[in-house]
Amino acid sequence: MVSEILETLQLKPGDAVADLTLGHGGHTENFLVEVGPSGTVLAMDLDGSQAELTRQRLESLKLVEGLKIELGNFAGLGQAMGKHGLVTVNGILADLGISSMQIDDPSRGFSYRREGPLDMRMDASRGESAKDILDRISPEDLATGLEEYGDVPLASPFSRALLAQHHASPFETTTQLAEFCLKWHQGSTTGKPAGDWKLRQGKQKWETHPAARVFQALRILVNRELANLKHLLRVVPDLLAPGGTVAILSFHSGEDRMVKAAFEQGLRQGRYSAISDGPQRAGFDERNDNPRSRSAKLRWAKLAESHPVDAGDEA
């Protein structure tokens, strides 16, 4: 949704903008063109190896003037801005979730279609892996996570069965977990290996692998994504320049609900002067070319030109 995001942020030469999820650099590349050599693009990423590859790609395109890359979680945006001498920025983009580069690397453990270690950490140098989570989590807590972060149906019986199997014979790889999800969903005599499950358009819906929502929920648990998003939504109004815009692209209903609630609250409080009427979706061509975009929801909020004064400010 690059064109929709550029239209939303309305960047000008000399502006400062923060791209909180650098990934392959598709959005960052366009931001650098929009703000020009006199502007600044602060791009953040948790994945150091990926950030370096993207920096090299942008360098080959001669698009590094004004580019500042900061490794870290976007919840630390304020500190990153301070490090690079930015008090406020004119635009903020958070493209939530994981990048195609991470999905396509089997060693990261994000994909249910590619065999790799059951990891799912965006920052592979720290924290618990997905296997570590399964080693110690209770069936009740896992069911809650699967329901809240993956909208997984029958989460309670599925969680009990999954953990019973894991404790008896631990899942070490992504394909082992994917095969279990498929067999539990369809019965033990499916006859269809997990890797052969295809994404295809049916009548009024898309058919996805039964492991997709489970992997999504585990990834969010591993990386504490909703907690980081909650913090970001709280600090964004303090980091935007007057009249600046924040755009958030989410891929999960829980994320979208958080973004919607925060923007509506900011509008009621007078911190935002306008917010999107509803989520904007990717166009038909993009959904066909990029299946991941079919679940994308774009929301935006525009900071008021002046900060409302409350009792605390007057005191």
What is the pLDDT tens value at each position of the chain, 315 positions in all? Answer: 889 999 999 999 999 999 998 988 899 999 999 999 999 999 999 887 788 889 999 999 888 899 999 998 888 999 999 999 999 999 999 999 777 777 888 999 999 989 999 999 988 888 999 999 999 999 999 999 999 998 898 999 999 999 999 999 999 999 999 999 989 987 643 444 444 445 455 544 446 788 999 999 999 999 999 999 999 999 999 999 999 999 999 988 889 999 999 999 999 999 999 999 999 987 666 666 666 667 789 999 999 998 665 534 433
Place of tokens 């690079």: 84
Is-contact 246 259, C-beta < 8 A?
A: no
Closest CA to 227 of 148, 139, 299, 297: 148
Place of tokens 């609250």: 265
Whether 2-95+226-314 shares its CATH topology with 111-223 is answered no
Q: Quick one: 111-223 is in which CATH superfamily?
A: Putative methyltransferase TM0872, insert domain (1.10.150.170)
C-alpha–C-alpha distance, residues 253 and 52, integer Å? 31
C-alpha–C-alpha distance, residues 50 and 306, integer Å? 38
What pLDDT score does 6 carry? Answer: 95
What pLDDT score does 313 carry? Answer: 43
What pLDDT score does 24 carry? Answer: 86
Closest CA to 265 of 295, 291, 230: 230
What pLDDT score does 177 carry? Answer: 97
What pLDDT score does 281 carry? Answer: 83
What pLDDT score does 242 carry? Answer: 97
What pLDDT score does 291 carry? Answer: 60
Q: Quick one: 2-95+226-314 is in which CATH superfamily?
A: Vaccinia Virus protein VP39 (3.40.50.150)
- Please state the domain extents for the chain: 2-95+226-314, 111-223
pTM: 0.82
Helix H or strand E encompassing 242: strand 240-250
C-alpha–C-alpha distance, residues 120 and 97, integer Å? 11
The SS3 call for residue 206 is strand
Could you tell me the two tokens for 174? 């992504």
